[in-house]
Amino acid sequence: MTFELLGFRFRLQATWILVLALIVLSLAALGGGVDPAQPDDPLRWILGVGVAALFFISVLLHELAHAFAARRQGVEVGEITLLVFGGNPRLGREAAGPRAEAVTALAGPLASLLLGGALLGGWLLTRETAGVAGLLLSSLLWWAGMSNVLLGSLNLVPAFPFDGLRLLRALLWRLSGDFLRATRLATYVARAAAYGLIALGLALALGDELIIGIWLALIGWLLGQAAEGAYRRVEFSTLIEDMLVRDVMESQVAVVGPNLTIDTLVQQHQLGGRDSLYPVTMDGLLVGTVDMAQIRGVPRAAWPTTRVTDVMKRGERMSTLTEELTLPDAVRRLEETGAPALPVVAEDDGRRLLGMITRESLRRAIRQRAALRQGDA
């Protein structure tokens, strides 16, 4: 599920349904401050739903604080995947310096802690309020305040995907002056914390807390893998940050016409085509693209009478690159579209085809760049 808010695009993970349901059921069962002598009191369910809604809003505000801070630092913010204890924004590039990195990372936890403090302050003012409404309000403020304090505090832990790892990286970046080295050192710390969690989990599992121990060990392993994956992504971005689309695009491109039938396209592809996406041109100008995956949606019996123009992407649905675009931006565009390849067009004329970037051409260029870097080292 995706939605837009204040100029930012959010993607909601399906696990949120389970988490919110668990919050509602837990508070309905425990009472959450509502009279425990009345287990069937509907206020328990109202409280559970209210706290679940406020928790979701809290995570959303946490990520909005990150997004506005990043934008203020000049970093473009793409789609933000909302996780239970924060989010994973797709940034257009890394922060320009350690200060910008620290400001962006700190914005989320700070917003959560301030909001938590304000809500707990409201709880202090309303906890003595008489009546059902007063009890419900004070309970809502207590649980919402504590969840924000927990959210802000937990995100200061130096482990991925928490913001504490980015704060640690900003400090190490400031001290070392090397972003990649700082990322690597921060990864070591995150992995050490993950291994510590695994050790604690195994110790508990060997004792009397088998289930809790297994969960802690699993969480530790996942955090370690996530930290290593985060470093690999930064290493990859650093490797290609100064490369442009024109450096890796293929100039010789197989094109098809819009009036070609689908059965003929499939035959030509099977005979010699290795690309699964073809630019569609008319009179030498790009008018669309056709992906072989699109053909699967056409019944086989209709192939002889269905033409490329009937299924191709055109206009705003067609994604293209320009040769002066940076390679990291091109990689992000490929990830966003999920396309196997993208056509490269002239900067001043979006219909003039210059070449193509495929995933294979990207892999080849990256291998060559990595080999050169190792040779220089």
3-state secondary structure string across 224-271: HHHHHHHHHHHHHHHHHCCCEHHHHCECCCCCECCCCEHHHHHHHHHH
The domain that holds 264 is classified in CATH as 3.10.580.10
The per-residue pLDDT for 95 is 63
The three-state secondary structure class of 298 is coil
Name the token pair of 254: 């197989």
The per-residue pLDDT for 37 is 41
The per-residue pLDDT for 39 is 45
> Within this chain, do residues 303 and 252 fall inside the same structural domain, yes or no?
yes
> d(Cα 310, Cα 268) in Å, to the nearest integer?
18
The per-residue pLDDT for 113 is 94
Task: Let me know if residue 227 belongs to a domain.
Answer: yes
Name the token pair of 107: 């914005």
Q: Which residue of the set 4, 63, 250, 360 is catalytic?
A: 63
Name the token pair of 85: 């204890």
**Strands lying side by side in the sheet with 2-5:** 2-5, 8-12, 77-83, 86-91
For the segment 201-217, the average pLDDT, to the nearest whole number, is 81
- Count of domains in the chain? 3
The per-residue pLDDT for 36 is 45
Task: Let me know if residue 368 belongs to a domain.
Answer: yes
pLDDT above 70 for 86: no
User: Cα 355–234–95 angle (5° rounding)?
Assistant: 95
> Within this chain, do residues 133 and 20 fall inside the same structural domain, yes or no?
yes
Is 360 an annotated catalytic residue?
Answer: no
Long-range CB pairs of 303-308 (<8 Å, 24+ gap) are 303/261, 303/262, 303/263, 303/266, 304/261, 304/262, 304/263, 305/261, 306/261, 306/262, 307/258, 307/259, 307/260, 307/261, 307/262, 308/256, 308/257, 308/258, 308/259, 308/260, 308/261, 308/262, 308/265, 308/280
Task: Let me know if residue 169 belongs to a domain.
Answer: no
The per-residue pLDDT for 101 is 83
Task: Let me know if residue 25 belongs to a domain.
Answer: yes
Percent of the chain with pLDDT over 90: 5
261 vs 97, higher pLDDT: 261
208 vs 111, higher pLDDT: 111
pLDDT above 80 for 251: yes
Task: Let me know if residue 348 belongs to a domain.
Answer: yes
Domain finish residue from 219, 241, 263: 241
Task: Let me know if residue 291 belongs to a domain.
Answer: yes
For the segment 160-165, the average pLDDT, to the nearest whole number, is 77
For the segment 201-221, the average pLDDT, to the nearest whole number, is 80
Q: Which domain holds residue 302?
A: 245-376
> Within this chain, do residues 10 and 141 fall inside the same structural domain, yes or no?
yes
For the segment 18-28, the average pLDDT, to the nearest whole number, is 74
For the ranges 39-43, 169-173, 191-195, the lowest mean pLDDT is seen at: 39-43
> Within this chain, do residues 237 and 295 fall inside the same structural domain, yes or no?
no
